[in-house]
């Protein structure tokens, strides 16, 4: 395994040297919540619940929805905690991660490891015993893929890390569908591909913004090793494929006019922003004028609108 050597104080030393009295209970609770990366999990739930409405073609059992959301939160939270445990060396050197709980010492590495593994076990059992075992194995598979394949193998080795590592973030659509039907079909597979092609053009603009951070710790995100023009070109390519795939649900009979309209309008705006970024990159615009974060913020709005439309569409057909 390729591990980047960095010069810093040993990760977690601050946390292990602090006495409990110096770590207030309330702050400790917030720190453990922060280990789960709640803002990222919000996006995962946005892609899970609407798919359950599509699978049911109406309102799914609300208890099932609650159990799926809780299981999904615990599973993703466990994966995120284990990710922070593995990446604590580089997190200490990056500006955007310098306040994470292991870096500040609010949580020790051992506590984080136990916490992450515990969440993984509890989430798998919760899914298996209250939802179904297909969803449980999909959830566990997503967790292991994120921790082992992305964090431990791909992240520090290849600029394609976020492309293939993003597969873990695609799994919630499969989990949402299987929670309702205890099976899989083409609809969740198409939505899986939508998220797969969405992830790189969603994350690369952020990577462009903070590429100095990644360069400092030797993580080869695409913007670190390629020019802005090359990254923007890749963003445009992935964006076109993403929009095209998102429109496959309707001809296959899974969605109707409302979803199609939202997918066309939101997708069209996405492509406008992607091409605008490419044009600025071609003109060798740099700094704040590159406006790469416009696409990053829009990408979150896009996926939210698309999946809300998935939930609403069954009621308008």
Q: Is the pTM higher than 0.75?
A: yes
Residues 35, 175: one domain? Answer: yes
Max CA distance (Å), the chain: 62
Last residue of some domain: 181, 202, 232? 181
Q: Say if residue 150's pLDDT is above 70.
A: yes
CA 219 – CA 4 distance, rounded (Å): 8
Q: What is the 3-state secondary structure (H, E, C) of 77-106?
A: HHHHHHHHHHCHHHHCCCHHHCCCHHHHCC
The average confidence (pLDDT) of the chain is 92
Domain CATH for 93: 1.10.357.140
- What is the per-residue pLDDT across 217-257, written as a single tens digit (0 to 9) for each? 999 999 999 999 999 999 999 999 999 999 999 999 999 99
Residues 204, 300: one domain? Answer: yes
Half-sphere exposure of 229 (CA within 13 A, CB side): 4
Do residues 299 and 198 make contact, with C-beta atoms less than 8 angstroms apart?
A: yes
Domain CATH for 285: 1.20.120
Residues 139, 219: one domain? Answer: no
- Name the residue range of residue 267's domain: 184-316
What is the average per-residue pLDDT within 202-219? Answer: 94
Q: Say if residue 20's pLDDT is above 70.
A: no
How many domains, in total, are found in the chain? 2
Residues 142, 207: one domain? Answer: no
Tell me the CA distances in angstroms from 268 to 18, 50, 157, 300, one per residue in order.
Answer: 52, 22, 34, 15
Note whether residue 42 is domain-resident.
yes
């Amino acid at each position: 395994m390729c591990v980047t050597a960095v010069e810093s104080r040993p990760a977690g030393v601050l946390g292990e040297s602090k006495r409990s009295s110096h770590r207030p209970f309330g702050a400790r609770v917030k720190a453990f919540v922060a280990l789960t990366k709640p803002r990222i999990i919000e996006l995962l739930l946005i892609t899970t619940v609407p798919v359950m409405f599509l699978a049911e073609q109406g309102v799914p059992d609300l208890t099932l929805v609650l159990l799926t959301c809780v299981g999904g939160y615990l599973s993703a939270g466990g994966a995120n905690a284990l990710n922070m445990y593995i990446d604590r060396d580089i997190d200490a050197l990056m500006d955007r991660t310098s306040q994470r709980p292991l870096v500040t010492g609010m949580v020790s590495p051992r506590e984080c490891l136990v916490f992450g593994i515990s969440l993984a076990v509890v989430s798998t059992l919760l899914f298996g015993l209250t939802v179904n075992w297909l969803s449980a194995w999909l959830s566990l598979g997503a967790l292991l893929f994120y921790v082992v394949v992305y964090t431990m193998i791909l992240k520090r080795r290849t600029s394609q890390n976020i492309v293939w590592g993003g597969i873990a973030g695609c799994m919630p659509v499969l989990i949402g569908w299987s929670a309702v039907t205890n099976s899989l079909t083409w609809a969740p597979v198409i939505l899986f591909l939508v998220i797969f092609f969405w992830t790189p053009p969603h994350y690369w603009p952020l990577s462009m913004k903070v590429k100095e951070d990644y360069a400092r710790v030797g993580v080869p995100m695409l913007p670190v090793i390629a020019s802005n023009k090359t990254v923007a070109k890749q963003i445009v390519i992935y964006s076109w494929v993403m929009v095209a795939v998102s429109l496959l649900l309707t001809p296959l009979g899974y969605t109707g006019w409302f979803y199609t309209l939202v997918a066309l309008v939101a997708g069209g705006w996405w492509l406008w922003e992607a091409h605008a970024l490419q044009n600025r990159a071609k003109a060798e615009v740099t700094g704040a004028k590159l406006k790469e974060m416009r696409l990053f913020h829009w990408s979150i709005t896009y996926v939210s609108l698309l999946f809300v439309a998935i939930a609403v569409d069954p009621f308008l057909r």
